Amino acid sequence: MLKLELKEVVVSVKGGTVVRHADLRVAEGEVLYIIGPNGSGKTSLLRAVLGYPGYEVVSGRVLFDGEDLTDKPMEYRVKRGLAITHQIPPKISGVKVGDLLAEILRRRGSTSEFKGITEMLRIEHLLNRDLNRNFSGGELKRVEIALTMAQSPKLALIDEPDSGVDVESLRFVARGVKEILNRSPFKSIVIVTHTGLIAKYIPPTKVCVMKEGVLKECRLPDFLKRALSEGFG
């Protein structure tokens, strides 16, 4: 059964087209990778799916779990069970990592998960720090994954979990992404990557290439290795 479907989606940012054409189908139990070079429109597509302000779907439809979300605001889409882990999250002064994580869990009535999540992602030392301020690349990713895990979404859109992280951090990030996948009632996830490093831990079931704003036809998992070594063409 299809859980996320993009039909001929075109995305515009500040009046300029950043995604020229995207067709995508994410079925139950699917680990879908979107790969492609920098600047190909992968992040813009994920943000448009979530309804991020400024990322406008100018034509096409976004269907999620049987519902057309194209004209719905981000707040609604998140409530319906979509979530994103950001590639470059903003720094927010005074908002402490621990407080934010606790608040997300409290709203879900799952405060008991706090310790487990912080230990799994090795972010105990960051709990009293301002969100994303002076974090290393690995710390940024681990906190993002922790917050998404706390949200426990039906479908997570994971943006570049393996860029700018060291090998050690990648292991924890991958463990977290796997946990998000396990918690998904659909057992589905969408991962954007241009390095493919995370595939070692979470193998894809389908690989789609995005290039120059066009999401091309999706292929079988073994395409990933070839694409990363020989190019995305």
Partner 1 sequence: MVNEVLDAARGEALKALDRAAPYGPDIDVREYLGLRVREPAKLEIGRVEGVGIDLRRARRTAMYMQVDDRVVESLSRLSGVEVTTVEDFIGNYPDIARELLWRLIKPGQDKYTAIAALKGVGGYYVRVKRGVKVSEPIQTCLFMASEGLQAPHNLVILEEGAEATIVTGCTIMPEVFGLHAGITEFYVMEGAKLSYVMIHAWNRGTHVRPRSAALLEDRASMVMYYMNLSRVKTLQTYPKVILKGNGSKVYASSIVLGRGGSVVDVGTEAVMVGDAASELVSRFVVKDRSRAWARARVSGVRGRGHIECKGLILSSKAALYSVPELGGTGRDVMLTHEASIGRIAEEEIAYLVSKGFSREEAEELIVRGFMNVEVRGLTGRMESYVKNVVRLMSRAAM
Instruction: Looking at residues 119 to 158 of the shown chain, list those that interact with partner 1 (rule: CB under 8 A).
Output: 130-131, 147, 151
Q: Applying CB under 8 A, does 103 fall inside the site for partner 1?
A: yes
Q: At 82, give phi and psi (nearest 5°).
A: -90, 145
CA distance 213 to 36: 10
CB atoms within 10 A of CB 99: 13
CB-wise, 23 or 65, nearer to partner 1?
A: 65
Segment interacting with partner 1 (CB under 8 A) among 10-18, 80-88, 177-185, 191-199:
80-88
CB-wise, 5 or 144, nearer to partner 1?
A: 144
Tell the residue number behind the tokens 């994580």, with chain if given.
Answer: 101
Residue 110 in contact with residue 152, Cβ under 8 Å? yes
Among 2, 27, 100, 127, contact with partner 1 (rule: CB under 8 A): 100
Among 2, 10, 13, 78, contact with partner 1 (rule: CB under 8 A): 78
CB-wise, 85 or 218, nearer to partner 1?
A: 85
Segment interacting with partner 1 (CB under 8 A) among 23-31, 33-41, 45-53, 218-226:
45-53
CB-wise, 100 or 228, nearer to partner 1?
A: 100
> How far is residue 99 CA from its own chain's centroid?
22
Residue 138 in contact with residue 168, Cβ under 8 Å? yes
Q: Which of 51, 53, 146 is nearest to 104 (CA)?
A: 146
Among 20, 107, 125, 226, contact with partner 1 (rule: CB under 8 A): 107
H or E element: which one contains 94?
strand 92-96
Least distance to partner 1, CB of residue 46, Å: 11
Q: Which of 154, 151, 76 is nearest to 106 (CA)?
A: 151
- Per DSSP, the three-state class of 96 is strand
Q: How many residues bind partner 1 (CB under 8 A)?
A: 26
Point out which residues bind partner 1 (CB under 8 A). 50, 52-54, 74-75, 78-79, 83-84, 86, 89-90, 92-96, 100, 103-104, 107, 130-131, 147, 151
